[in-house]
Chain A
């Protein structure tokens, strides 16, 4: 059984650019959630994907978008990057989008926007 992986580990972008972050779910999981974690804060829910469809969204603007693929891997896309987008981005997978289900987290991607 493989765990959740994320790529890249870290990257640096400039304001106004676009970025794509990637996540591979744990084997057997069909649900992926994305979180933004600013320094000194807890993870903030961005959105969740279940069977390739968005299945819930937090308070993030439309320039944060995502995709889930048939193999249940996922992408987070952020357009028109702002300085405040600098954060650790976490993805987490679970077997089903049930509120009692355990989420398994990846190591995160550290995004720096200059």
Chain B
């Protein structure tokens, strides 16, 4: 069975500092990986997906199949990045598995 692990429940950085939110996965097939974000009092929404290879709000994520990781990175954190971040894996059958999330706090 597939599994997604986000080892840090809480992560705190200062504004302007680099930030990396870790995501590790286990899955025997070829996964599709996503990062979702939930800002305060808002619904869960897509941040980015690995297949698009895009940068959203300055965030990027690279799929490392050797290390089975999909870490989310941003070189210079902003206060508005404070939110809950979830890593999710979707199997070829369309079944989604989410990690338990990391709460990011960016301090001024």
Contacts and interface: CB of A to CB of B under 8 A. Distances in A.
Interface string B27-66: 0000010000000000111100101000000000000000
Interface stretch (B12-20, B70-78, B97-105): B97-105
Chain B interface residue number, banded: 20 to 34
Interface residues on A, range: 20 to 34
B11 to A, nearest CB: 16
B91 A42 contact: no
B94 A97 contact: yes
A33 B49 contact: no
Contact of A40 (B94, B97, B100): B100
Interface of A: 33, 35, 40-45, 48, 55-56, 58, 90, 92, 97-100, 102-108
Interface of B: 4, 6, 32, 43-46, 49, 51, 86, 88, 90-101
